[in-house]
Amino acid sequence: MTLIKSISGIRGTIGGGAGEGLNPLDIVKFTSAYATLIRKTCTVKSNKIVVGRDARISGEMVKNVVVGTLMGMGWDVVDIDLASTPTTELAVTMEGACGGIILTASHNPKQWNALKLLNEHGEFLNAAEGNEVLRIAEAEEFDYADVDHLGSYRKDLTYNQKHIDSVLALDLVDVEAIKKADFRVAIDCVNSVGGIILPELLERLGVKHIEKLYCEPTGNFQHNPEPLEKNLGDIMNLMKGGKADVAFVVDPDVDRLAMICENGVMYGEEYTLVTVADYVLKHTPGNTVSNLSSTRALRDVTRKYGMEYNASAVGEVNVVTKMKATNAVIGGEGNGGVIYPASHYGRDALVGIALFLSHLAHEGKKVSELRATYPPYFIAKNRVDLTPEIDVDAILTKVKEIYKNEEINDIDGVKIDFADKWVHLRKSNTEPIIRVYSEASTMEAAEEIGQKIMDVINELAKK
């Protein structure tokens, strides 16, 4: 059994003893700590907290514990029930709430669940706030409401509809062009909330032909829920049969978007953001942001429009902070996470789908042809395992010194930018390893430069 407490929330496997899994006792403790922090920091006067969940088997149990705890802390709960992460984020601001809790373990397997914590803007807590929640929970510094001040409960199932309405209202979503293009679209929603909201979004966008795979929100995921090529054989085979022009695949909480071309070949989730950014920049010039481990193709596309690209530390909250600081018009993460501020500051697969289909309709190309218009890069993902006594920070400092003549970024580990490739080294917060991501114009070159740096790390570790 596993329980992981971090600044971005609390997640764990269901079951086990107190402190060793995500069980009711720990859910109460962390919900109480979050409720205490929000009471101190919130500037909104509504007294409401929104709760939404993905379709995990444990979702109902976790929700009941969370809702009861929030009411016990004196908060009025708005339960939007089965809803995507971006839907819950939007619901916080639409409801004028003080915060929100999303019950989802994102792409983790079905035995996992998690509490993801939002502020009054419907955005994830920052590092300082996350640490304060952990401190309050550890110290059990919370007071429950007396009988005359308990919170109220209201169920509101209108937010999926409101989310779709908000996507359709975006200036760059061209419903007429999509309708006219008469796309055939396939979707794989891995038996979670995407299966509820995506078919409705596509119908409202004027898509008449929808091939649905795993759209029943049972929480019994039919394959590993991370939208990576190795997990998507079923929908790739469906596409090879010529049944659709494009396939969209989401994770259980619908904040990541992967795509498959008409010929059954993966589009490449790094290129979800690149493609959407190309469309956005064509119509609204501005800056872009992705994290340090994302493809250089976004930088190339941004510069094509004479605009500025910036890299942030890894993590959605860091991308959002950098986007706000640089007035970015589009940003996100290379794992298929599109953040479009004209909608909201959160990764949103619905926004990604609507903008991508608008772009595809305007371009009049096949999906594989559109993909071929972007700079070809390949990312190799490796790791170096070290013994616990090795000083990882010291090794990273030495690597920086060795490559000081290259362009170095050290806001999150060490990224070495060579003229035609890059390597990003990050230490894990939970185990003695260094993650080594490298990108180049061929997979061989990416693996080669990654291996070269790993050899350097192993040499340094011996000294």
What CA–CA distances, in Å, run from 328 to 215, 280, 339, 426?
34, 11, 10, 25
Question: What length does the chain have?
Answer: 463
**106 included as an active-site residue:** yes
Rounded to whole angstroms, the Cα distance separating 398 from 403 reads: 9
CA-derived radius of gyration, the chain: 22
Task: Give the tokens for residue 2.
Answer: 């596993």
Q: How do beta strands 246-250 and 209-213 pair?
A: unpaired
Identified catalytic residue from 106, 166, 293, 312: 106
* 375 touches 271 (CB < 8 A): no
User: What stretch of H or E contains 203?
Assistant: helix 194-204
Instruction: Give 105's contacts (C-beta < 8 A, 6+ positions apart).
Output: 11, 56, 112, 113, 114, 252
Q: Of 204, 197, 198, which Cα lies nearest the Cα of 173? A: 204
Say how many C-beta atoms besides its own lie within 10 A of residue 290's C-beta.
32
Rounded to whole angstroms, the Cα distance separating 251 from 232 reads: 11
Rounded to whole angstroms, the Cα distance separating 207 from 209 reads: 6
User: Assign residue 191 a region: left if phi > 0, alpha if psi is -120 to 50, beta otherwise?
Assistant: left
* 408 touches 422 (CB < 8 A): no
Q: Of 379, 380, 394, 384, which Cα lies nearest the Cα of 455? A: 384
Q: How do beta strands 287-291 and 309-312 pair?
A: parallel
HEC per residue, 184-195: EEEEECCCCCHH
Any idea which residues carry the catalytic annotation? 106
